[in-house]
């Protein structure tokens, strides 16, 4: 998602001009291409970033967020060469983000597999160790056998 103010800066136009073009072509921007932030989302943004409060000379409307498809549609609405060049770079950034996210997903899957096999093996080892400790405790609990006299002829010990 990219906010309207950030896109306007990238395209080199005022935010109001960008939104004006979007509103003139509203049929090209369904809800999954662009949406207006809720009051809660705006509050979260205001607290995270230094965005001026409404009524103090700053923005008086909630910003719009554009999805990847919405950004792609902007190139057909804003017809300048800069808009096309910026759009190409933004699309490349989205592709790279997807590629990176995909590699993280693969890594997460591999870690899950590794965790399952490790937990399984540790479970087996835990059972074996428990059996060993049980046997050792049984051996320790029984008194050692008394020393018996050997059977048969024993020569006398020489000193």
What residues are paired with 2 via a beta bridge?
A: 66
Closest CA to 25 of 88, 73, 80, 67: 73
Tell me which residues of the chain have a pLDDT lower than 70.
47-58, 144, 150, 159
Could you read off the pLDDT of 8-54 as tens digits, one per residue? 888 888 888 889 988 998 888 888 888 988 888 887 777 666 555 55
Helix (H) or strand (E) holding 48: helix 39-48
Distance of CA 65 to the CA centre of its chain: 21
* Dihedral sign (CA 130, 131, 134, 135): negative
DSSP state of 57: T
- Whether the pTM exceeds 0.75: the reply is no
- Rounded to 10 degrees, what is the CA torsion of 74, 82, 57, 2? 40
């Amino acid at each position: 998602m990219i906010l309207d103010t950030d896109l306007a800066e990238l395209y080199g136009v005022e935010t109001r001009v960008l939104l004006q073009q979007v509103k003139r072509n509203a049929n090209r921007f369904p809800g999954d291409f662009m949406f207006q932030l809720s009051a809660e989302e705006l509050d979260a943004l205001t607290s995270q970033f230094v965005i001026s409060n409404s009524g103090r000379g700053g923005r008086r409307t909630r910003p719009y967020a554009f999805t990847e498809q919405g950004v792609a549609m902007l190139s057909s609405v804003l017809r300048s060469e800069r808009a096309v060049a910026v759009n190409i770079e933004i699309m490349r950034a989205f592709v790279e983000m997807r590629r990176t996210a995909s590699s993280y997903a693969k890594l997460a899957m591999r870690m899950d597999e590794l965790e399952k096999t490790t937990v399984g093996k540790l479970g087996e080892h835990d059972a074996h160790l428990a059996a060993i400790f049980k046997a050792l405790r049984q051996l320790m609990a029984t008194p050692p056998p008394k020393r018996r006299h050997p059977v048969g002829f024993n020569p006398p010990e020489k000193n």
